[in-house]
Chains A and B, each alone.
Chain A
Amino acid sequence: MASLQVSGVTVSFGGNRALDGVALTAEAGRVTGLIGPNGAGKSTLFDVASGLRRPSSGQVRLDGRDVTRARPSARARHGLARTFQRLELFGRLSVRDNLLVAAELGPERRRADRIVTEILHRLELTDLADTSPDALPTGVGRLVEVGRALAIRPKVLLLDEPAAGQDVEETERFAELLRALTDDGTAVVLVEHDMSLVMAVCDEVYVLDLGKIIAVGPPEVIRSDETVLAAYLGDA
């Protein structure tokens, strides 16, 4: 059962096609990787999926339901959550309240306090609960974004470079977290530059370049795909 299904999505900024007929499917209980050079259109695809940007053509389906014209808040209620590459934390609220706002908007608002405590614990953020997210290093801020997204108990979770700025050990813990999430049946889409993380956790990887999907497949196939290597080397 496909949890998130994007098909034929095209987005243009002025004359530039940032996305050109992109299709992507993310299934429950799996981590779907989305990789590609900077400017490939990964964040724009997340904007389309979460409803912040209308595509000029194409469809977005959540759990089989067409949500292409739905507002971001409606998609969240249908179980979609995301994080932002450029952090969008609530800077004037404490870390705990960042999560609390989300939990109170989610389906289990009665248990909001308990959910927040549990997530803080899980992400090892409990000690920082009362600090302002503005005072945190970006790596920790990304973790708070992940926690906030988790607080609405999503069925589909879009993560935009969540592990950037983490060291090896932290990345390892993050991989654990992703596996635990998929065990609970969440569909995760992961945008990430750290190839070892992508290879370690993804069940399937999409490669985006200049707004087009140039390859799809299991990580070990993608690793040795000629076109993919060309796109990355050409970029470097």
Chain B
Amino acid sequence: MDQFLTFGIVGLSTAAIYAVIGSGLVLTYTTTGVFNFAHGAAGMLSAFMYWQLTVGWGWPVPVALVVVLLVLAPGFGLLVERFVLRPVQALGEAERLVMTVALLSGLIATARWIWDPNVARPLPMFFAARKPIHLGPAVITWHQAITMAVAVAVAIGLRILLYRTRAGAEMRAAVDDRALVGLTGADPVRAGRVSWILGTQLAAIGGILIAPTVTLDAAQLSLLIVSAYTAAVFGRLRSLPLTFLGAVVVGCMESYLTGYLPQNEYLPGLRLAAPAFLLFLALLVFPHRRLRGRERRLARVPVPTARGTLVFAAVVIAFGAVLASLLGEADLITYGAIFSLGVVALSYVPLAGYAGQVSLCQLSMAGIGAVVWGHLGAHGQLWALGAAILVSAAAGALVALPALRLSGVYLALGTAAFAVILDRWIFGIPAFHVFGLRIALFDQGSVDVSGPRLFGLRLDSGRELMVFAAVCLALASIGVAALRRSRFGRRLIALRDSEAAYATLGGNLLVAKVAVFALASGIAGLGGALYGMQQRTVTADQFSLIAGLPIFLVAVVGGLGAVGNGLFAGTAFVAPTNALIAIAPGTANLVALLPGLAGVGLGHNPDGIVSRFRRQWEPLARDRIALPILLCVLALAWALRFTDVINDWTYYGGSLVIAAALRAWASARQAEPAEPEIPVEWWGLRRAWRPEDEEVLARGVAAG
């Protein structure tokens, strides 16, 4: 009984923290419509700063609290509101989502950069020296008591703020109808700003309170937020009282699981994954308002031509072959990931690009592929690669079933929860038997992965594996391009553009969504298997939610609708970072920030870089003089490098410069003759509408 009480108290004090953090989340979501994935990360950063001020620099606790809660947190909230979210406020939900995911990824990288993750940073509890309070049989530490008191104070404070003050009235107005707030004389921008300040402060309070009871680790603290998300989902992201109730459920469940979960080797991970489980369940059980309201602008999905696709595939393979011929063994492992992770990124094209399903668990699917290949393909049998793809696809279909009920933010949350469940629990389960079949995952450690056997040849060197991965990426890209031109591809795009129209024309949403999830997961599984081969041995960590976020971000920046995105995302994710590190080893941490920053830059180029790139380089590809010159020069440069006449930097730098120069020349040569005049009224009809037309029209109208 005493034990039951003790765990109850632990549970309630944890719940208090979740409630505080969760209410901040609800506050910003309802007032601004932005679901802040980085909310927990803001709390994490606050906890680190608080540690720095108190333990690091020895400031008195009250001063540190004032500085963090009243200066740093509000300032941070304002910065985020102004520079990260306001630019994308007018864009679709997916873009807003990407921004906060980018922020999450960037904040974790920043914290790891400033505070070396390998150093332990214990943070004392509040009033740790005082004797605990005895209440009958129950024992409450001062820290726990304070935590609960803070939660009660926050509840009362929010109630007063929302119902007794002008700022609160404005925020509630913004909840009811964002478009109408302006008419009632309230100021939506100010309401948004207040909610970001408050939200960040609440996250900071939660972060500071929870940090002493867990380890101060950037990724872990940011993920504690999963529990707070669950609480917020209990409140359907709208109701503060229900959020508090949800927090109590989550907090107590975690605590009692710690106390009463039977001790065996399969279950400890379950406790870690429990909040994610609950989040998944809560998402499915609570009805959500359908996120209707059309997104203003969806990124284009170009139709690749057959010839263009083949040329692109040839370029991918040539690129792989060139790298393989020039790089040393260590570099081969590093840069081989361009192609294997490129395949993983490519899986986003049908899933998120065509069908609009934002999934955050694609790297987890890659992990499944890697594990299956690692175990079944130990002798390099090719059928095992097929099995790896199939098992990943099956897992993808499994995710799709619940995902059918979710869309937008909820789907992203659900798939994130799934990734956490895999990474914290499933991947760590020791091998077990089902119907006499031994099923092994990461075996609580690492799995050795070997290369495939092809036509009697064992591909095992980094060189061979890089070319193999490049060929796989080329084939997968051809496959996705064919998909875009196929009936199924059209259906996926249609389903995203209007589910209502697709369904009333006779389209089956269930079948299409399950199929696209399975397809994308299969592609990701292939990528994971290739990645595993290159790495030789893999651990569950390499396929966690946090590890997968930057890949997602880079893919979004590339443009989710473009088939070329696999190569782009793989290259952009792997090459610049490692090249920078090679030039200046001190930048390793700064470099981890890049994907996050790139995501934040997205607001300015929502169509993606790949299609812009394509437009810019097309003149060169079509030029009958410049193109052959380029190919000859590249071949010559390669030969010079291969025979060690020139060094790496001259080779890569020189090739880029020459290509850019030829591109400029080719586009100058092809500067198109003026096209026939088309009367203004027919713009957009006789010829495609162009973004610049609007401006021309506006100027014409202004001139009278």
A: residues with CB less than 8 A from B are 50-52, 71-73, 75-77, 80-82, 84, 88-93, 97-98, 100-102, 104-106, 127-128, 131-132, 135-136, 148-149, 152
Contacts and interface: CB of A to CB of B under 8 A. Distances in A.
B685 A92 contact: no
8 contacts: A73-B505, A82-B504, A90-B498, A91-B497, A97-B490, A135-B684, A135-B688, A152-B506
B71 interface: no
Interface string B677-704: 0000000111011000000000000000
B493 interface: yes
Contacts of B300: 92
Nearest to B356: A92
Contacts of A50: 504
Nearest to A105: B506
Given A73-B508, A75-B504, A76-B507, 6 more contacts: A52-B500, A76-B503, A81-B505, A88-B500, A92-B298, A101-B490
A76 B505 contact: yes
A4 B508 CA distance: 22
B503 A88 contact: no
Contacts, number: 92
Nearest to B683: A135
Nearest to B354: A92
B621 interface: no
A52 B487 CA distance: 24
B491 interface: yes
A52 B509 CA distance: 13
Nearest to A149: B505
B327 interface: no
Contacts of B498: 88-90
Contacts of A77: 506
B493 A93 contact: yes
A127 B689 CA distance: 15
A102 B505 contact: yes
Nearest to A158: B504
B490 A73 contact: no
Query: 4 closest A-B pairs (Cβ-Cβ)?
Result: A76-B506, A88-B498, A72-B503, A88-B501
B440 interface: no
Contact of A92 (B301, B502, B507): B301
Given A90-B494, A92-B493, A93-B493, A131 B684 contact: yes
Contacts of B688: 131-132, 135
Contacts of B496: 92
Nearest to B509: A73
Contacts of A51: 503-504
Contacts of B494: 90, 93, 98, 101
Contact of B507 (A73, A82, A84): A73
A52 B490 contact: no
Given A92-B298, A132-B688, A73 B487 contact: no
A89 B501 contact: yes
Contacts of B490: 93, 97, 100-101, 104
A158 to B, nearest CB: 9
A135 B685 contact: yes
A51 B503 CA distance: 9
B306 to A, nearest CB: 17
A36 to B, nearest CB: 22
B237 to A, nearest CB: 20
Interface string B461-505: 000000000000000000000000001001101101110111111
A102 B490 CA distance: 10
B364 to A, nearest CB: 28
Contacts of A102: 505
B292 to A, nearest CB: 10
Contacts of B491: 101, 104-105
- Which has the most chain B C-beta neighbours within 10 Å: A100, A101, A104, A105? A101
A93 B501 CA distance: 13
B503 A136 contact: no
A105 B298 CA distance: 24
A220 to B, nearest CB: 33
B693 to A, nearest CB: 10
Given A84-B500, A92-B493, A93-B494, A101 B684 contact: no
Contacts of A80: 504
A81 B505 CA distance: 6
Nearest to A80: B504
Interface string B267-301: 00000000000000000000000000000001011
A88 B490 CA distance: 15
A136 B494 CA distance: 18
Nearest to A104: B487
Nearest to A133: B497
- Which has the most chain A C-beta neighbours within 10 Å: B494, B496, B685? B494
A91 B298 contact: yes
Contacts of B506: 73, 76-77, 105-106, 152
Contacts of A135: 684-685, 688-689
B689 A81 contact: no
Contacts of B505: 73, 76, 81, 101-102, 105-106, 148-149, 152
- Which has the most chain A C-beta neighbours within 10 Å: B504, B561, B689? B504
Given A89-B497, A91-B497, A71 B503 contact: yes
A128 B685 contact: yes
Contacts of B301: 92
A90 B504 contact: no
Contacts of B508: 73
Given A88-B498, A101-B490, A73 B503 contact: yes
Contacts of A88: 498, 500-501
A100 B505 CA distance: 11
Interface in B90-116: none
A72 B500 CA distance: 9
A81 B507 CA distance: 12
A169 B300 CA distance: 35
A38 B224 CA distance: 50
Contact of A131 (B298, B507, B561, B685): B685
A152 B496 CA distance: 19
Interface string B527-571: 000000000000000000000000000000000010000000000
A81 B500 CA distance: 12
Contacts of B504: 50-52, 72-73, 75-76, 80-82
Nearest to A49: B504
Interface in B225-273: none
Contact of B497 (A52, A82, A93, A136): A93
Nearest to A140: B685
A75 B505 CA distance: 9
Nearest to B506: A76
Nearest to A112: B487
A97 to B, nearest CB: 6
A136 B493 contact: no
B694 to A, nearest CB: 12
A92 B497 contact: yes
A192 B615 CA distance: 44
A212 to B, nearest CB: 25
Contacts of B493: 90, 92-93
A90 B504 CA distance: 13
B298 A136 contact: no
Contacts of A98: 494
Contacts of B500: 52, 72, 84, 88
B566 to A, nearest CB: 20
A90 B503 contact: no
